[in-house]
């Protein structure tokens, strides 16, 4: 279905907006005028829920209730035999500069005294530390292992000895992706690139992927020449290939963008390859900081390097424009997107709907939703929340109720959440009885309400001497508990 941008332009522009002069750099070049501009209408007819609407029920409408009464190899060799399963750092690595994060170990899976003792034994490189670890009777978990390694990272101490002990004392322990990533970070903080190379080679064979956590050492303040470190990382990733190479380059660019070192992120692309996915990371980061001009320049640069933008590229720009209330340029971008052959996806519609709901233009939001669902795209829970809150906060409680009832037929996965949210909104606005009646209605339909919402409503019903309604709700809620035990 063709997206009628021109008609939506008038509707979007009718939303209140405040232009931010600091962002008013240049508008989107929409290219040739869309033939759909002939559909422009100055009218904005009220959109009602009807039987032809995606929101309609197949039953007679009822009044709102308130209107009625593993890698298992050691990194420290236990023998003189050397193999791919034995990683050690050879010479003792120097300590890097500490990060600004707190060196206090996280208390997960063991008490603080045990964690403190683990840190002391490792940091002092005490002989027989492994035997003392055994005596602690630690309950090894992914959280405990990753938290110990993170604490060692903060202190600039090698985690290899501890990691080797974990694998030896519990052969069935399979480190998680997080554990491996923070271990790579540990090696980077110690400049132990040779061990990192061997570890990543094995991880690639096992098809493990890297995340930004693996390269967090690059953000440590006071570190030397970061570009040299990045070169070494790229060399290692190119050498090991496989899953670590692909995910590693992407995560490296993502990390550098997260700390606004865009020049280094571009340097990584220059040393490896320019891809649409890499450019999208840069564009998204620029948009997060509100730098639309910088994001637009990257968007234009993509095509000059034969990297065609995709729908994600457009969505990042569109989100930035709508967030900063540059609605005119957002309309131009939508038209440009259509001219290039890109149809809006669920994310595109979601942003447009959120903008319309925030501006209390519920008719426009409904039109976008109807169009979205007619194209076979299902709304997510966050979109339902936007509609329910948008109606309710606009003083249209009955429309919010109609939306919940209509969606109970069209999207059964969200119906419990929708009812519970609306009940919570009534409760929060002081309409406790109405909130209780809504809970009663949903339980009559066999829907279990959100427990915290149910308890808050019950508590306030008792306070206002409406124990009769509270008793009915309790009786109905108990049925869910009894059915769970049968």
**Higher-pLDDT residue of 94, 257:** 257
C-alpha to C-alpha distance for 328 and 322, rounded to whole angstroms? 9
How high is the mean pLDDT of the chain? 80
Q: Which two tokens stand for residue 286?
A: 């620029």
Whether the pLDDT of residue 341 is over 70: the answer is yes
**Higher-pLDDT residue of 408, 486:** 408
**Higher-pLDDT residue of 172, 78:** 172
Q: How confident is the model at residue 138 (pLDDT cuts 50, 70, 90)?
A: confident
pLDDT tens across 412-469, in order? 889 999 999 999 999 999 999 999 999 999 999 999 999 999 999 999 999 998 989 9
Q: Which two tokens stand for residue 276?
A: 């649409």
Q: Which two tokens stand for residue 141?
A: 């978990």
210 and 251 Cβ atoms separated by less than 8 Å: yes
397: left (phi over 0), alpha (psi -120 to 50) or beta: alpha
Helices 262-271 & 242-258 angle (0-180, nearest 10): 160
Whether the pLDDT of residue 46 is over 70: the answer is no
Tell me the whole-structure pTM to 2 decimals: 0.74
Percent over 70 (pLDDT), the chain: 75
Whether the pLDDT of residue 287 is over 50: the answer is yes
Burial of 375 (0-12, 13-18, 19+ CB in 10 A): middle
Among residues 259, 318, 262, 254, which one has the least CA distance to residue 281?
Answer: 254
Q: Which two tokens stand for residue 55?
A: 């929101």
SS3 (DSSP) at 185: helix
**Higher-pLDDT residue of 1, 364:** 364
Whether the pLDDT of residue 67 is over 60: the answer is no
- At residue 310, what are phi and psi to the nearest 5 degrees? -120, -175
In order of 284, 299, 313, the CA distances from 310 in angstroms are 13, 10, 5
Helices 177-189 & 193-205 angle (0-180, nearest 10): 160
Q: How confident is the model at residue 99 (pLDDT cuts 50, 70, 90)?
A: very low
pLDDT tens across 116-134, in order? 888 888 887 767 778 888 8
Predicted local distance difference test score (pLDDT) of residue 110: 47
Predicted local distance difference test score (pLDDT) of residue 411: 86
CA 406 to chain centre: 28
In order of 2, 18, 276, 475, the CA distances from 5 in angstroms are 9, 22, 25, 52
Q: Which residues contact 409 (CB under 8 A, 6 or more apart)?
A: 56, 57, 58, 59
Q: How many other CB atoms sit within 10 Å of the CB of residue 300?
A: 11
């Amino acid at each position: 279905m063709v997206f009628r941008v021109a008609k939506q332009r008038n509707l979007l522009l009718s939303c209140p907006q405040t232009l931010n002069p600091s962002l008013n750099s240049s508008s989107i070049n929409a290219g040739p005028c869309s033939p759909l501009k002939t559909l422009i209408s100055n009218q904005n007819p009220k959109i009602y829920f009807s039987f032809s609407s995606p929101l309609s029920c197949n039953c007679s409408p009822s009044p709102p209730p308130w209107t009625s009464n593993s890698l298992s190899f050691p990194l420290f060799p236990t023998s003189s035999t050397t193999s791919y399963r034995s990683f050690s750092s050879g010479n003792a690595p120097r300590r890097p500069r500490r990060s600004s994060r707190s060196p206090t170990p996280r208390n997960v899976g063991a008490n603080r005294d045990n964690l403190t003792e683990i840190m002391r034994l490792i940091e002092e490189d005490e002989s027989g530390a492994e035997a003392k670890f055994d005596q602690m009777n630690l309950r090894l978990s992914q959280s405990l292992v990753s938290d110990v390694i993170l604490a060692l990272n903060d202190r600039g101490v090698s985690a290899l000895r501890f990691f080797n002990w974990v694998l030896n004392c519990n052969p069935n322990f399979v480190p998680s992706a997080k554990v491996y990533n923070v271990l790579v970070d540990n090696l980077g903080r110690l400049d132990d690139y040779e061990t990192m190379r061997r570890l990543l080679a094995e991880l690639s064979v096992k098809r493990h992927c890297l995340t930004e956590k693996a390269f967090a050492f690059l953000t440590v303040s006071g570190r030397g020449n970061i570009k040299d470190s990045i070169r070494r990382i790229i060399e290692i990733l190119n050498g090991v290939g496989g899953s670590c190479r692909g995910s590693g380059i992407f995560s490296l660019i993502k990390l550098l963008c997260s700390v606004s070192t865009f020049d280094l992120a571009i340097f990584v692309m220059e040393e490896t390859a320019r891809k649409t996915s890499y450019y999208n990371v840069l564009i998204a980061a620029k948009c997060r900081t509100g730098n639309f001009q910088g994001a637009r320049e990257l968007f234009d640069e993509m095509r000059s390097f034969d990297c065609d933008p995709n729908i994600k590229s457009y969505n990042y720009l569109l989100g930035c424009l709508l967030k900063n209330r540059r609605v005119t340029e957002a309309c131009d971008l939508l038209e440009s997107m259509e001219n290039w052959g890109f149809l809006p996806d669920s994310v595109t519609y979601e942003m447009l709907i959120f903008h319309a709901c925030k501006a209390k233009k519920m008719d426009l939001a409904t039109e976008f939703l109807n169009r979205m669902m007619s194209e076979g795209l299902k709304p997510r829970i966050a979109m339902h929340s936007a509609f329910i809150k948008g109606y309710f906060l606009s003083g249209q409680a009955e429309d919010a109720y109609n939306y919940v009832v209509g969606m109970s037929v069209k999207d059964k996965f969200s119906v419990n959440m929708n009812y519970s949210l609306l009940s919570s909104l009534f409760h929060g606005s002081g309409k406790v009885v109405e909130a209780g009646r809504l809970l009663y209605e949903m339980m009559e339909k066999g829907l279990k309400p959100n427990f915290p919402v149910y308890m808050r409503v019950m508590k306030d019903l008792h306070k206002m001497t409406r124990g009769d309604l509270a008793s009915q709700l309790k009786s109905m809620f108990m049925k869910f508990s009894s059915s769970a035990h049968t």
